[in-house]
Amino acid sequence: MSTATHDTTRASVFLGVPAVLTARQQPYLEQWLEWLKSQSLDVVRLERPAYSQDPWRTLRELISQTDGVVLLGFRQLDARTATWRPHTKEEGHPAGWWTSPWLNLEAGLAVMLGLPVLVAPDEGVQEGVFSPDVWGGQVYGTAISPPGKTGMEWLELVHRHRISRKHRQRGS
């Protein structure tokens, strides 16, 4: 687990990223980290050395302590020659690239917790939460390069969630 020094007055976000990145992908991650920190956000990540026997509990605990989620859908599986549902009437060809399936699970946990989610698919990644036709409600989508206007809308929801969480903590 990698967490920034957690300042209880600042909003925090969970950053989901595949465990292994290419040399082309790494600079995008660095840009996102820089952008998130420039927005005065604490960044929480679950990195490979912190994986546990019970990943569900670990993820739930980490994500539930944040005010929003960012998922970077970097290419991980080349599915350009794959066949979806072969030998059925729904047979077809999926999106060209898939990212880590864990990112879709992290999105589901965040949605269940009512957190704002910002997804940024790499070029050609369109499965699950990275498909633009499912963006809406609390799920925002943007390009893999650090966000513009969409990111600012998501950021406003993150700060609202932080204020709401502080009020709930005071009341308990």
Identity (one letter) of the amino acid at 66? T
Q: Are strands 68-73 and 117-121 parallel, antiparallel or unpaired?
A: parallel
Domain of 132 in residue numbering reads as 2-171
State the pLDDT at residue 171: 67
**Could you tell me which residue, 110 or 148, shows the higher pLDDT?**
110
For position 79, what pLDDT does the model report?
84
Mean pLDDT of the chain, nearest integer = 89
pLDDT category at 172 given cuts 50, 70, 90 is low
Specify the pTM: 0.87
Q: Which pLDDT tens digit goes with each residue over 83-128?
A: 778 889 988 877 689 899 999 999 999 999 999 999 999 999 999 9
The total number of structural domains in the chain stands at: 1
Q: Which CATH number does the domain housing residue 122 bear?
A: 3.40.50.2300
Nearest Cα residue to 161 out of 69, 67, 36: 67
In what side-by-side order are the strands of the sheet with 68-73?
A: 2-3, 42-45, 12-16, 68-73, 117-121, 139-141
